[in-house]
Amino acid sequence: MNQGFKSRFEQMRENNLASAGTELEEIPVNGDPPIHSFGNARNLCFVWPDGGQSFFNYAYLISADFIPGDEMNKIRLGFSSQDVVLEGYRLETLFAQLLDHVPKTITAIEERYIPQEMVEESIVVKIEIEKQEN
């Protein structure tokens, strides 16, 4: 596959097909042929309020369930070996974005620090990773 090939998917998603896009930056590695600074891997990174992070590849996302609640909603993401459970407010929009593999990072916010400006957005307050039992 040609390493210089750049997919226009990102430009289509942003509705900006006319932009020139980002040029690939080559990084030499210990005298070996250079590698590119980024790739086309589709990962989803989860960030906790304490700064902890974990990422999963979208290729291993098998199922997703939206569970509405009276006040808070849940999203259960079934990856091949683990489940990720998200809890928060107005998660319907986030669920629709996950369906299209749009989010790259989902950050949990402590409930007491939710800014008033975010009252119309999806807000994740809890992220749990559960190992699947075989």
Asked if residues 134 and 103 have their Cβ atoms less than 8 Å apart, the reply is: no
Phi, psi of 5 (to 5 degrees): -70, 130
d(CA 9, CA 69): 35
Write down the number of H helices and E strands in the chain: 2, 9
98-128 pLDDT tens trace = 999 999 999 999 988 888 777 788 999 999 9
Who contacts 52 (Cβ-Cβ below 8 Å, separation ≥6)? Answer: none
**pLDDT 10s digits, 41-82:** 799 999 999 999 999 999 999 999 999 999 899 999 999 999
Residues 61-88: b if buried by 16+ CB within 10 A, e if exposed: beeeebeeeeebbbbebebeeebbebbb
